[in-house]
Structure 1
């Protein structure tokens, strides 16, 4: 639940790290308390170290105000862990150090050596990891047992996935900053400033005109609509993780640093996404007055069956049909209804009351698994390899885990906010 950083970019940054000497004010009184959190002090030196660490990682929260807030939160995490008798073991911390350093494809010693060259002590890295280790255990004990995911939430998430177009084209703006040998850090610093200050497309365009070394600079860095498949495979996950209006973190490429702004996306629904299964009830009655009374007393299909109790079986029918199999006259009426809404159709000799029980995407219906595409090399079936269907929906268990993790994260954030509100936080 902590920050996720791009390993390749982080490795490139660390390889050329160099942030200069500590500020003069930090050198004057390194351990001056800046803020007390439940009587535990955050010192000026800790803040300088955290700012330097975050700047080195090109994290968005590298300014002093945000870094101080992060240190306060870490104090709250550690304080809560102590109250729950949670103490991180050396093995847990070492595993956390190794996992984090591994994101940069480095070992712990290589990573800490790179930090040291930039003036960041190993202890600052260790403190950062320790707070995360104990907080995961706090969340596991205090938050996770309270989180439940219902079948309805899973279905709602599945419907959202079905209704969300798969991105096929993107509208990007670019800034490419030259980074000749010996000037890599200066280019990264400039890119970091752009990321921190480009809040809108107009901001990004102004930076592009000033700093970008490509022909698109004159047009504010704007690139034409581009098929996602045309982008380098390594870049696609980054673009897909962004929302329109967002700026990417700086990316290092040979001789340059690149920053993107995502203006917009286009996409298509997966096959079958617009098809529906309609579950509805049709009741045949003698008059519109009878139909109106029955509708007024029925808030759901279950209520309608109770209200129609005593009618001959032929006069009340419940159907569950693909949209294409619903009779056209009924399909037109049902198209105007939400779940548990009714409409009355007068055919002259008889009156029909229609109630829509549920409208479900056909892709969620219980159907046999789609066949898996295969390919064979040299025409030999023995060499055939199963290929995943790119249009297949994720398994319900996967979606349930996704919803569960999101709810845990939200609950953990709410718990931390509660701890912050109840803490004694004061300045000297």
Structure 2
């Protein structure tokens, strides 16, 4: 259930009749067996229609057949461990999926029926997904662990990722006069589904676009992201260079955008670090070097130095700019837990690096912004660095990534172990 319902796709199916009905000949003949559970030609045809309606990127008969095979394996795996989807769980899943289109389950089912899709197709799709979540929870959840080090690395990557503020777009605007909206939408969907290269998109723009940029293959000059309509910004920033948007119906036209390039700037403070470290004044460089060689971390310094010296240890958490130059230079060469020596005339300072982290991640007074599905969040001042994930949201994202990969691996194992044959 990874695809969001697309009202655009639903309109296209209903308006253009893009999916032809299956031949009545051998309509219910099996096309493949999955551990002796038959998948019929009719089921494949119905799943193709359903995939079209929910806006799946691949709605071919081959994709529909594979999806049905996987659903059979999911249901069989659930039965093997005694998982059953209750009527209440099924209804909740139906409502949740339909809610993505702003509909309740009954209204969505009625829309499907008008597109020639039986209600059972929707129910079976949701039931397989609901059962599979329970299988994954039972078999894989205990195996997934996320370490603090993994969270630190992911948070660092998020903070150091530039904020996109400029984009290079190409546009393709297909006229949609009254009565021809369905044809325009169908054409736009065919272009988008072909995953065109920049050259192919430019050729399509020259052929079909109805605006002056068509002569230049739809190419636009560099645009500030803030200059785009607010509703368009998340659509554009969700693209990677070389990708095209889904068709965007507007009054009198259907629009496609192709992202040629995206540029950004570093968040304020992204390169600034906050260090936590210890210092201990020592009588000589020799004494400091000896203690440094025995020390295996910040907490260990108190043990190695002994009670009397421990009372002189200072522990600080400050930004790089606030650290004295000689100490900052020595800390720069240390990894977390390492100790070093800073000469101070005849005496010395023993320094131990406890941790270093981006200044943005160390801010205490923060606002957070959740990213849907991915779960990446960070604690940062909203006025200075919007969109940085919180540690908890980073952990959620890493967990989701791991659990999804494990679920894909489990499904692959089920395929490998299954007897899948054709009549």
**TM, length-normalised to structure 2:** 0.80
Q: Which residue of 1 aligns with 2:386?
A: 391
| Mapping 1:52-67, distance limit 5 Å | 52-67=49-64
1:413 matches 2:402: no
Q: For the residues of structure 1 that align with 2:200 and 2:336, how far apart are their CA atoms? A: 45
Contact 1:58-1:249 within 8 A present in 2 as well: no
Q: Which residue of 2 aligns with 1:18?
A: 17
1:27 matches 2:24: yes
Contact 2:326-2:342 within 8 A present in 1 as well: no
Q: For the residues of structure 2 that align with 1:10 and 1:104, how far apart are their CA atoms? A: 11
Q: Which residue of 2 aligns with 1:362?
A: 359
Q: For the residues of structure 1 that align with 2:291 and 2:196, how far apart are their CA atoms? A: 56
Stretch deviating more after TM superposition (328-337 or 208-217): 328-337
Q: Which residue of 2 aligns with 1:191?
A: 188
Q: For the residues of structure 2 that align with 1:366 and 1:389, how far apart are their CA atoms? A: 11
Q: For the residues of structure 2 that align with 1:67 and 1:286, how far apart are their CA atoms? A: 76
Q: For the residues of structure 2 that align with 1:408 and 1:147, how far apart are their CA atoms? A: 7
Q: Which residue of 2 aligns with 1:252?
A: 249
Deviations along 1:73-103, whole A, 9 cap, x unmatched?
1111111111122222333333333333333
Q: Which residue of 1 aligns with 2:377?
A: none
1:140 matches 2:165: no
Could you tell me how far 1:270 is from its partner in structure 2? 3.9
Contact 1:271-1:391 within 8 A present in 2 as well: no
Q: How many residues align?
A: 409
Q: For the residues of structure 2 that align with 1:359 and 1:130, how far apart are their CA atoms? A: 47
Could you tell me how far 1:307 is from its partner in structure 2? 6.9
Contact 1:18-1:117 within 8 A present in 2 as well: no
Aligned residue for 2:399, secondary structure, equals: helix
Contact 1:15-1:114 within 8 A present in 2 as well: no
Q: Which residue of 2 aligns with 1:161?
A: 158
Contact 1:19-1:119 within 8 A present in 2 as well: no
Seen in structure 2, the aligned counterparts of structure 1 residues 296 and 425 have a Cα distance that, compared at 3 Å, is farther
Seen in structure 2, the aligned counterparts of structure 1 residues 6 and 421 have a Cα distance that, compared at 3 Å, is same
Q: Which residue of 2 aligns with 1:5?
A: 4
Gaps of 5+ in 2: 368-381
Seen in structure 2, the aligned counterparts of structure 1 residues 110 and 366 have a Cα distance that, compared at 3 Å, is closer
1:426 matches 2:421: yes
Could you tell me how far 1:325 is from its partner in structure 2? 0.9
Could you tell me how far 1:345 is from its partner in structure 2? 6.2
Could you tell me how far 1:214 is from its partner in structure 2? 2.4
Q: For the residues of structure 2 that align with 1:334 and 1:178, how far apart are their CA atoms? A: 63
Could you tell me how far 1:299 is from its partner in structure 2? 6.4
Gaps of 5+ in 1: 371-386
Deviations along 1:133-173, whole A, 9 cap, x unmatched?
22222233333344344444444443333223333222222
Seen in structure 2, the aligned counterparts of structure 1 residues 222 and 347 have a Cα distance that, compared at 3 Å, is farther
